[in-house]
Amino acid sequence: MKRIVIALGGNALGDTPAEQLERVKITAKTVAKVVKAGYEVVVCHGNGPQVGMINLAFSKASEAGHVPSMPFPECTAMSQGYIGYHLQQAIDQALIEAGIDDTVVITMLTQVIVDENDPAFKNPTKPIGTYYDEATAKRLMEETGHKYIEDAGRGWRRVVASPVPVSIYERISLNTLINANHVVIAGGGGGIPVVKESNGSYHGVPAVVDKDLAAEKLAELVSADSLVILTAVDKVAINFGKPNQQLLDRMTIEEAEKYIEEGHFAPGSMLPKVKAAMQFAKSGDNRKAVICSLEKADEALNGTTGTEIVLK
């Protein structure tokens, strides 16, 4: 049986719990189709809007003196729980409707191991949380030692590191669950970043791991055959939005590197997806990554849509 990891963006889940409850049904139907086609499935998801709302709620309550502020690793853990709960229920229902009654859906709190010496910790660039005016941001920098920057002209925000994922703490348990015919929801929001102490224990750090890179690392560690990265478009394009736009059915690593050098993929949008896909394609023999739209993952696995990224 072939094994795949499906990576879903946080923006595809909506901006409110009610909206998310509806949006996850689309993902759930896609997952059910893939399971019915005979695949073992792991689902990873983003959490950008959701973890931002959690962080904002605690920040505002803390400023009002009602509760202590909440560390960012804990905010990520909360987002994994509530997004996972919605996905788990929706996928379970979709499997029932598809006539599949021998597959269990489970959400796994996921810690992603990062290197405490990763250069990203010396140059935090990932904006998180509340927008502040300049005076407040500078006061907070003095009081907390955190770094704040002006973000997109909307105000000042705290920035944290975005380190490269090294491994996943729960990797053995993940494989055990997949082998036991479970659909596993894992790696939410790129996982909770943790670093290893000298005594062998781990602790969370205020950072954000790119969700596509985390999904790629997870796919390697569970020996997946394919990594499917879901996005808002059916295929990757070069010259995107221009009269000479070209949709791609297939890309080799060499071609992808050329397109990146030519600046075809936007940072923070398609670029991290393509880089994660390239990394997975290079990680082992006969491994492929596919970038496609949310509703068409099953079709993409059959080669009828999406963009395949392969070694050569």
The question of whether 123 is a catalytic residue gets the answer: no
Phi, psi of 148 (to 5 degrees): -125, 145
Q: Is the Cβ–Cβ distance between 274 and 309 less than 8 Å?
A: yes
The question of whether 33 is a catalytic residue gets the answer: no
Q: Write down the catalytic residue from 9, 10, 46, 306.
A: 10
Q: Write down the catalytic residue from 11, 175, 196, 204.
A: 11
Q: Is the Cβ–Cβ distance between 224 and 3 less than 8 Å?
A: yes
The question of whether 273 is a catalytic residue gets the answer: yes
Between CA 277 and CA 280 the distance in angstroms is 5
Q: Write down the catalytic residue from 211, 217, 235, 275.
A: 211
Q: Is the Cβ–Cβ distance between 163 and 120 less than 8 Å?
A: yes
Q: Write down the catalytic residue from 273, 275, 288, 296.
A: 273
CA 214 to chain centre: 6
Q: Is the Cβ–Cβ distance between 213 and 272 less than 8 Å?
A: yes
The question of whether 196 is a catalytic residue gets the answer: no
State the Cα torsion 226-216-249-293 to the nearest 10°. 90
The question of whether 126 is a catalytic residue gets the answer: yes
- Measured CA angle at 113 (ends 158, 227), to 5 deg: 95
Q: Write down the catalytic residue from 29, 33, 126, 275.
A: 126
- Catalytic positions are 10-11, 126, 211, 273
